[in-house]
Structure 1
């Protein structure tokens, strides 16, 4: 192996190790460790066992603390030692909740959680793990997402894989709540229909950022205004129910159909956020509107018009030539008759 090949192999091995060091967190569902017979799940609990919740929601003032519990259920046929970890939570690009890797130092809500480092659970048994949440006295009011996981490490070749199953912990610090969004990056593109008798569509892309301090669930209204009327689009998909964390943002797309290309088309986007999770009486987020304009000329319709004009001209030319030919034949026949009479 040459030196350059050796460096490439080492770099590939390092990349595989980094990729395999931590797996994504599965929340509230059973998981297995790399295809082995180790299967487990983690759910919210009280001191006696699972309590039916899907997430842990706590609301505390700065300086307060509370002890929650998670139940780690070993569904395997052998005893398993699970590593317990707490860290900050975040949302993926698709809006799903996840946690920072276990080797990352928590900087927010995850740093306020204390739990045992490890727990050994017999086959088929359930262990209730206490989770102490202590909020510092000088933190910013609002939502500080976190999570608690139980994990098992496996070795596949030379790659270490950490399989984690966790419970989401929504920590809300009381105080002056701010519900506010910003809409940026609005882009529009017109798509013509191949059928000149059908309208086209406007593809809209925009970003909604949560610039407040509580989780928000956005809803959107997209309207287009053109020379021949207005069209609209409402987000009826499940995507609108996925929240945006404080300081986070999400990109949205929409397709407004039934838009005729008759020159300038104005697109208006209105973001309508509402607090996610526990209701907050008196807290509402203001609607934020942004608009832009795109030009769309009726090329298919103009092409059809041009074709009709060409057909019309061709018919006129053909008729004119036919008329002249008939006139010449009539003149020739008349000339022949004169010759015959003479």
Structure 2
């Protein structure tokens, strides 16, 4: 994560209890957890539901587990989910454009060895804020420099800010691609690999449960997408690409694949809000090459079996004629 003109890399660990820094701070460890004004309160994340124009002061506790005093940089920025579904936040030198812009924290905090500091986090919702979810991360970080490389180690807390208003839970499915892989065994069915993208077209966080239905003239086969990211949530406006394999598909011409994405709300329940499911269909052709090859071999074998006796008879007749005594 770049913070200066020098080459920089970064590491962020949200919800972690302890972070280990780079060699110059090899013995520096710290943790960041949600807190009340009096100290850590046992929460794993900070969930807020606020109206436009409302302000609230939350807290995070930064614990210096080291044997020396350390000055930590405090940062708040927009949150997002990685391709694997893990929460992360924008780099500290990137200006926030969403919920991170509504959060105010002190720039730095000096913490004595083994001590805990409660840091205020002021959240001010603009009056014209868009209803729905606006994820934010709050971190305590420590920079180390080695040559031209700067490493920023960040440990933080996730904050889910939900602005009240008209909530919409909706998914779309797009970018569907399907590829058939046949079996070398003509007596075994092949598989269909389907890749597709699910987009959260609503304004609240959802968890999508996906399934794939393949249809051939031999019948239908439904299979749940059990890929590792299936149960991960999708942020408003964000997309996630899934890839799954459906087994038991026979190559009998056209194969239809229907992808269904059934969302459920993430976070606090929203009475009266129904998540809208989405679906997309793609058709591919699969020809029974291994079965055709088997038929061709059987046909060749049939003619070979029928032709061998006739060939043998002709050969014997030639031998008899060759050795028959010539008339005087």
Tell me the TM-score range normalised by the shorter chain. Answer: over 0.9
What is the deviation of 1:210? 0.8
Separation in 2, partners of 1:288, 1:159:
46
Using a 3 Å threshold, how does the CA distance of structure 1 residues 15 and 78 change in structure 2: closer, same or farther? closer
4+ runs deviating over 6 angstroms: 328-333
Q: Which residue of 2 aligns with 1:28?
A: 15
**Aligned-residue offset at 1:158:** 2.1
Distance 2:147 2:320 in 1: 99
Task: Quote the offset at 1:328 in angstroms.
Answer: 6.2
8 A contact 1:24–1:98 mirrored in 2: no
Counterpart Cα distance in 2 of 1:158 and 1:44: 35
1:182–1:210: 8 Å Cα contact kept in structure 2? yes
Matched, 1:63 2:53: yes
Partners in 2 of 1:223 and 1:15 — Cα distance? 50
- Number of aligned residues: 323
| Partner Cα separation in structure 2 for residue 16 and residue 187 of structure 1 | 41
Matched, 1:285 2:275: yes
Contact persistence 1:222–1:268 (CA under 8 A): yes
The runs of 5 or more residues in structure 2 that have no matched partner are none
Which of 21, 28, 31 does residue 38 from structure 1 map onto?
A: 28
Structure with larger Rg: 1
Alpha-carbon distance in structure 1 between the residues aligned to 2:159 and 2:22: 26
Aligned-partner Cα distance in 1 for 2:150–2:270: 44
State how 1:1-342 maps to structure 2 within 5 Å.
17-20=6-9, 23-29=10-16, 30-35=18-23, 36-326=26-316
The structure where strand makes up a greater share of residues is 2
Please state how far the C-alpha of 1:33 moved relative to its aligned partner: 1.5
SS in structure 2 at match of 1:277: coil
Q: What TM-score do the two structures reach when normalised by structure 1? A: 0.89
8 A Cα contact 2:75 2:139, kept in partner: yes
Distance in 2 separating the partners of 1:233 and 1:246: 27
Q: Is the 8 A contact 2:227 2:243 kept in 1?
A: no
What is the TM-score with the length of structure 2 in the denominator? 0.93
More helix by share: 1
8 Å CA contact 1:233–1:254 kept in 2: the answer is no
Q: CA deviation at 1:321?
A: 1.3
Q: CA offsets, 1:59-87, max 9 Å, x none?
A: 00111111111111111111100111111
Q: CA deviation at 1:103?
A: 0.8
Unaligned ranges ≥5, structure 1: 1-13
Alignment check: 8 A CA contact 2:8 2:150 kept? no
* Correspondence for 1:3: none
